[in-house]
Structure 1
Amino acid sequence: MFDVFSNIRLLDILDISIVAFIIYRIILLIKGTRAVQMLLGLAVILVVYMASRIGDLHTLNWFLSNFLSSIILVIVVIFQNDIRRALMHVGRNPFLGGTTSREESAVIEELVKACVALGNRKIGALIAIERETGINDILESGTPIDARVSTELIRAIFMPSSPIHDGALVLQQGRLTKAGCFLPLSQGAELNKDLGTRHRAAIGLTELADAIAIIVSEETGKISVAVNGGMTRNLDATSLKKVLGRLLEPRKVKLQKKKKRG
């Protein structure tokens, strides 16, 4: 037993550690997304393939062998959005870089008050919040702005009389940076038929990046939050604040740690 460990080099430990870290980051990336279900499906296919070999099911084994021989291409096609998001993670872009926990809470408070006010008046709104992955290459058109987050400004932007009320309002690094941006619509066939353009655009954005999208329905005034290609609907002020706090909490912890180290 000791002979086995004596043959292990420091480079071997480094090699294993790097692979383990990559696998860990991949798991974090796909956690809570539809990619998990797809991976489970591939795992089932692999189990059936092994069973076909053990049970001498020649036809099934031949079919699955041909399928698995192209598994790399299949993975690239199925997980193209997740792969793109992973590559974009190479250059990280913090959501509220350089802000304190109190400032983050203030931003969330302003967002919640604005969305509730818009919902009460049944004024449609779509707010995209950039987190770690940059979204500038996803945004289409839009009017550049540079302003702090305030309830009054958000409400003014989404008023029907505003020339930039259509499209999404973008929040980057704690500031409102663009308005009237058009986002890529989700093409998911499993989406509910009653979802409108704003909801599909919100899901489409979160399928391509780790951004958060807040939607206020123009028809019902109800508030929804989209993240990782999924959506939480019918939120009130309390639940919206709780959801945003939970989704942005990792960044709060990181900022607090950096502040202590400094």
Structure 2
Amino acid sequence: MPVTWRDLLDIFLVALLLYTLYRLMVGTRALNLVRGVLVYLLVWFIASLLGLSTLSWLLGNAATLGAFALIVVFQPELRAFLERLGRGQRFSSGPLALEELLLGLSRLSEKRRGALIALERRTPLGEYAVSGEILDARLSARLLETLFYPGTPLHDGGAILRGERLFAAGCVFPISESQIGLGTRHRAALGLSEVSDALVIVVSEETGAIRVAEGGRLSPPLSLEALRERLKGVARA
């Protein structure tokens, strides 16, 4: 039977869909979930092919229960995945907002004041914003310094930038379980980056080092110039 243009279009669209799904999951623990499911299905298929009835029965019944368990355990990842498929708002920083952000981070780093700042992109961060205080204020270096001044009510939480506005502060971010040896701020930065496409900046109160979490990965300490280029790339994306 000859291959028609519809067959080619069908193959192309399926490949595009699979690639898009992969890009949405890469860098998150959802990708490891998919790999585990594929291995499970492969073992199940081989057991059925070889006529191993007991093993096939066990795997088949476990699959039904496992599907419900995975929905519960990976509920944050599933929610973030669906949000990424929908429309959202990117971080769109103008020159003034970018320089104010960098100036504030520079001062926080020099004074070794811990800070945690999330840049909202496609995935809405409203559910984390309501855990803190909604500000919706113009972003400025002095405002960042004030928010993260030790002893103030909001300094221990995270801040959320939405566009050129400081949308919320004192927010609670999910804590990552992948890097137990890190401090709470760094694990919170990783945790939020695992369940959303946010770029999260964290300043260490011990060393003043500035690092970025994105896609479940934490960068090495960045210079201000390296951070500027990273943020420009986010603004252009």
Superposition misfits of 4+ residues, deviation over 6 angstroms: 15-18
Secondary structure at the residue paired with 1:202? helix
- 1:132: how far off? 1.0
Matches within 5 A, 1:54-65: 54-65=49-60
Q: How many residues align?
A: 235
Offset from partner CA, 1:197-221 (integer Å, 9 cap, x none): 3223323322332212111111222
**Any conservation in 2 of the 1:129–1:172 contact (CA below 8 Å)?**
yes
**Any conservation in 2 of the 1:125–1:216 contact (CA below 8 Å)?**
yes
**Any conservation in 1 of the 2:189–2:201 contact (CA below 8 Å)?**
yes
Q: How far apart are the structure 2 equivalents of 1:198 and 1:154?
A: 16
TM-score for both structures, normalised by structure 2: 0.81
Secondary structure at the residue paired with 1:210? coil
Q: In structure 2, what is the equivalent of residue 122 of structure 1?
A: 112
Structure 2's unaligned 5+ residue stretches are: none
Among candidates 156, 180, 183, match of residue 192 of structure 1: 180
Matches within 5 A, 1:30-69: 30-69=25-64
Q: How far apart are the structure 2 equivalents of 1:206 and 1:109?
A: 23
Matches within 5 A, 1:39-188: 39-70=34-65, 72-89=67-84, 90-96=86-92, 103=94, 106-139=96-129, 140-147=131-138, 149-160=139-150, 162=152, 164-179=154-169, 181-186=170-175, 188=177
**Any conservation in 2 of the 1:113–1:237 contact (CA below 8 Å)?**
no
Q: How far apart are the structure 2 equivalents of 1:244 and 1:88?
A: 22
Q: In structure 1, what is the equivalent of residue 193 of structure 2?
A: 206
TM-score for both structures, normalised by structure 1: 0.74
CA root-mean-square deviation: 3.1
**Any conservation in 2 of the 1:185–1:197 contact (CA below 8 Å)?**
no
Offset from partner CA, 1:64-101 (integer Å, 9 cap, x none): 222234454354235322220132232322322xx6xx
